Amino acid sequence: MVRSALAWLVLWLTACTATAGEPRAAGAPARAPPPEPEPESAPFRVLSPAERVPDFRVASTDRRWFESRAWVGKEPFVVVFFATWCRVCELKLPLVSQALAHHPNLPVLLVSLDDADTWDGVPRFLQRFSLAHPVVRGTSFPRFSLAYDPLETVPAVAVVGRNGHLVDYQVGYSPSHGPRLAAAVELAVRMPPDAPPFLGSPDRPEPESRDPDAGPPDL
């Protein structure tokens, strides 16, 4: 339990808090789009490796709607939380771009936690990392943002398998995140819809099961 707590602390320290007092861009604040209503028929819950990911219905900045019922249990997808003022995001997003490069048709939602002061810089920021996926304004969908980013930090990346369960969840930045993220995306794409929850590490394949009637392994 102590080791788990320490691991979360390290991850939190390598990320940017969404409420951190980061420097804002100069100039007049941009006018933020009005928040959209979110369905509250389902009980609120956050990500859990043992359960299917929470339901959602969100709109991108170009007014397209995305619903979990079209993806969860049917298609793999990735959710990426970021902010233009987050310096750690500048290290993380190249890894995200590389992991997604081999799967141009993989559904991806880029969730910006920028406020009105920095919102205008979001398109230019994403262009730097060749990320041309739908952008969701996190502050307009607080239930969705808190469900998929319960620590309220950036960067955070959730990789969801075709079975509707988490394959990997990363907070902050580490050089080891690149290979792990690429392996998680590959695993999410390959797994069938009826696959059991994956509770291992995507870059460390689970050992092959052995026949209990077989003799001892050769040494």
Q: Which domains does the chain have, with CATH numbers?
A: 62-188 (3.40.30.10)
- Give the per-residue pLDDT at 112: 98
H/E element, 110: strand 108-112
What's the mean pLDDT when you consider all of the chain?
81
Q: Quick check: 177 pLDDT over 90?
A: yes
- Give the per-residue pLDDT at 29: 38
Nearest by Cα to 162 from 144, 178, 185, 132? 185
- Give the per-residue pLDDT at 21: 42
Packing angle of the helix pair 87-100, 177-190 (nearest 10 deg)? 40
Tell me the pLDDT band of 196, cut-offs 50, 70 and 90. confident
Tell me the pLDDT band of 30, cut-offs 50, 70 and 90. very low
- Give the per-residue pLDDT at 138: 95
Please provide the size of the chain in residues.
219
Residue-wise pLDDT for 57-112, tens only, equals 999 999 999 999 999 999 999 999 999 999 999 999 999 999 999 999 999 999 99
Give the distance from CA 119 to its chain's centroid. Answer: 20
Q: Which tokens in the block code for residue 175?
A: 């050089």
Q: Which tokens in the block code for residue 81?
A: 């939380």
Residue 212 near residue 196 (C-beta atoms within 8 A)? no
Tell me the pLDDT band of 162, cut-offs 50, 70 and 90. very high
C-alpha distance from residue 109 to each of 158, 163, 187, 213 (Å): 10, 18, 18, 47
* Least reliable range by pLDDT among 11-25, 41-55, 140-154, 192-206: 11-25
Q: Which residues contact 71 (CB under 8 A, 6 or more apart)?
A: 77, 107, 160
How far is it, in rounded angstroms, from Cα 136 to Cα 53? 18
Q: Quick check: 203 pLDDT over 80?
A: no
Average pLDDT on 205-213 reads 46
**Residue position matching structure tokens 């930045």:** 173
Residue 82 near residue 112 (C-beta atoms within 8 A)? yes
Query: If DSSP codes are grouped into helix, strand and coil, which group holds residue 188?
Result: helix
Tell me the pLDDT band of 34, cut-offs 50, 70 and 90. low
